[in-house]
Amino acid sequence: MSKLSIRGVEKTFPARRGTAATRALEPTSLEVADNDFITILGPSGCGKSTLLRVVAGLETPSGGEVLLDGQGVAGPGPDRGMVFQSYTLFPWLSVRDNVCFGLRERGMARAEQLAIADRFLAQVGLKGFENHFPAQLSGGMQQRTALARALANDPKILLLDEPFGALDHQTRELMQELLLGIWEADRKTVLFVTHDIDEAIFMASRVVVMSARPGRIKCDIAIDLPHPRSYKIKTTPAFAAYKERLTEEIRVETIKTLSMEA
């Protein structure tokens, strides 16, 4: 049985004052195995973030269903850890207390909360910053805190919506290596939305490409690159071949998107 089953999920946003209804997703199906790292790639507005939010339980599908370990997803839950592009930390809480938040809500003893939080903060390279507040951190450090918070709850699947999109290029690449290293060690099942082709290839065991809106899965490409991976793999012929294919796939869909907007 798949870890995650997306079965015929579709989404239409209803008409609002002065606007027509928007069909964001055509019926979409995807099977995600335990320990898979899947990146979802597609042109702007193709519904990739909408699909992720349906899996997270933050959007209700217009049709179809999502199953996690065979159980239907009906709303948000601690079995799915979500990391957004924007910095979503609580500004009035310290780094440590941000990571402890979900554990506290579950009624866990304070000593156990602190032990778990400190372990994951060390894993993401934030040892020594436990008592800082979000406003005292760089963007990359804030996203590392958000990642530690998601991991601390030990979710069945980690959902990431362009989590490194707001970071500078060098920090973004370091964050990619950090997350990939955590996945290589812990093998958490991951669904990762991005618009960056290099990022999609570097991180993934599979890259799913979505079509122009209304979105559907156009192709599902296995990435056969060895682990552990470092940034040097981006210079290899195998990486370049994947990039050439995916660039063409995305280019076709982006042209379609631009023609619809013209």
What is the residue-level pLDDT of the chain in tens, covering all 262 positions? Answer: 799 999 999 999 988 877 788 899 999 999 999 999 999 999 888 999 999 999 999 999 999 999 999 999 989 998 999 998 877 899 999 999 999 999 998 899 999 999 999 999 999 999 999 999 999 999 889 999 999 999 999 999 999 999 988 888 888 898 999 999 999 988 899 999 999 999 999 999 999 999 999 999 999 999 999 999 999 999 999 999 999 999 999 999 988 888 776 5
Domain identity same for 12 and 100 = no
In a domain, 50, yes or no: yes
The parent domain of residue 198 ranges over 4-79+157-261
- The predicted pLDDT at position 32 comes to 96
- The predicted pLDDT at position 88 comes to 83
Q: Which residue is it, tokens 């709303």?
A: 75
- The predicted pLDDT at position 261 comes to 67
CATH number, domain of 224, equals 3.40.50.300
Domain identity same for 100 and 120 = yes
- pTM of this structure: 0.93
- The predicted pLDDT at position 15 comes to 86
Structure tokens at 191: 């669904």
In a domain, 84, yes or no: no
Long-range contacts of 140-143 (CB under 8 A, 24+ apart): 140/167, 140/171, 140/174, 140/175, 142/87, 142/89, 143/83, 143/87, 143/167, 143/175
